[in-house]
Amino acid sequence: MRQIAVIGAGVIGVTSALEVQTKLGKSVTVTIFSDRFSPNTTGDVSAGLWTPYILQDTPMDNIIKWSKETYDYALKLWQDGEAEKAGISLQVMTELLDKPEEQIPEWVSLTLGHCILDANQIAAINRKYRANYCKGVTFTAFILEPQRLLPFLMEQFKKAGGKIIQRKINSFDELSSYDVIVNCTGLEAKQLTDDKLLQPVRGQIMRVEAPGQFHCIMEPETYIIPNMDCVILGGTHQENSWDLNVSKSDADGIAQRCRQFSPSLESSKLIKHMVGLRPGRSSVILRTEIRTLRDGKRIPIVHNYGHGGSGVTLSIGCATSARKLVEDALIGNFQNKISKL
């Protein structure tokens, strides 16, 4: 039996661990090592909207491949009647752009349906919101709520024979007895790997009770995303800020901008403010490093982190790619290896 260690129990770690444990079956045992679990991961802050966002120079081919696999996964659960248990809902999103040079993103064509707004529709929206948008699109988006999805996936992982250990890993040397390590530590990979390209992108949101709010809307500064038990009002994207405290001025700005789109939110009841740090990186890293540990053992480490504002959106696709790298590592095929990050 080969032993695989997955570090991290955020949306990236749990999807990777489940994929390896279920697809490689009885030949492996996967153990998740993590110091935090849901509801205390970065994904638990997020609305879980399927939308590629803050991915910097990640190649578009990869974004398309990984996000499509996640979309198809959500669609299948939705069709199989598992959506509610997994925290998945299908909603119409309107995305508005205010810079003429920005293009309607190519990934909208992956969705079940999309419609680019014409000049009359944009003009009407601009009149209604006293705004200055130049483009927009509506598309069918899935929402995969991590606070429900993570326990759902964890249950499947345990049923498949996966093990879970709550522990902080301070160095890969601690996992020398394993055959392969999968590193899904999000922003904290900065400490574990000394990756200088990782930077926090702070996000603050509000969770409110607004049962009458059905429509999703997103524009450069603002979003309104209904979840099953609440509505997420956002948000901020503050680069290089490590501040996990709730900022009153951010909260006031979010509330005021969201009310412009949906005045009825004025009477919504605040559930809580939340802040999270997105793992921003010049590009998602999904590669195998062969590292020599202190005891002299050479171990393959599959790095899967740096998903910016899209960890939920890319999770299932990245888990499939990570599992393929683990398979390669187990048979000693290190095609994608790197000796250093």
Ligand X SMILES: Cc1cc2nc3c(=O)[nH]c(=O)nc-3n(C[C@H](O)[C@H](O)[C@H](O)COP(=O)(O)OP(=O)(O)OC[C@H]3O[C@@H](n4cnc5c(N)ncnc54)[C@H](O)[C@@H]3O)c2cc1C
- List contacts with ligand X (CB under 6 A): 7-13, 33-36, 41-43, 45-49, 168-169, 184-188, 192, 203, 205, 235, 276, 278-279, 305, 307-313
Smallest distance from ligand X to CB 47, Å: 4
Per-residue b/e over 128-160, b at no fewer than 16 CB within 10 Å? eeeeebebbbbbbbbbbbbbbbbbbbbeebeee
**In terms of CB distance, is 45 or 108 closer to ligand X?**
45
Nearest to 314 by CA among 37, 16, 108, 106: 16
Cα 240 to Cα 326: distance, rounded to the nearest angstrom: 32
Rounded least distance, CB 61 to ligand X, Å: 18
If one counts every other C-beta atom within 10 angstroms of the C-beta of residue 98, the result is 15
Choice between 133 and 172, CB closer to ligand X: 172
Kind and range of the H or E run holding 166: strand 163-166
Q: How far is the CB of 290 from ligand X (least distance, A)?
A: 20
Smallest distance from ligand X to CB 27, Å: 25
Dihedral (Cα; 203, 207, 213, 217), 10-degree rounding? 0
Find the shortest distance in angstroms from Cβ 2 to ligand X.
21
We find the least distance from the C-beta atom of residue 222 to ligand X, in angstroms, to be 13
User: Measured between alpha carbons, how far is 52 from 335 in angstroms, rounded to an integer?
Assistant: 27
Kindly tell me which of 124 and 244 has the beta carbon lying closer to ligand X: 244
Question: Closer CB to ligand X, residue 43 or residue 300?
Answer: 43
Nearer CB in complex with ligand X: 136/279: 279
Query: Is the CB of 122 or the CB of 186 nearer to ligand X?
Result: 186
264 token code pair = 């009825």
The answer to whether the Cα torsion of 66, 37, 221, 233 is positive or negative is positive
Triad 210, 213, 215: Cα angle to 5°: 150
Instruction: Supply the minimum distance, in Å, between the C-beta of residue 126 and ligand X.
Output: 26
* CA 152 – CA 333 distance, rounded (Å): 33
Q: How many CB atoms lie within 10 A of CB 58?
A: 22
In the chain, the amino acid numbered 153 is: L
Give the nearer residue to ligand X in terms of CB position, either 74 or 192.
192
User: What gap in Å lies between CA 16 and CA 28, rounded to an integer?
Assistant: 14
Nearer to ligand X, 11 or 117 (CB): 11
For residue 144, the minimal CB distance to ligand X (Å) is: 8
246 φψ region: left (φ > 0), alpha (ψ -120 to 50), beta (else) = beta
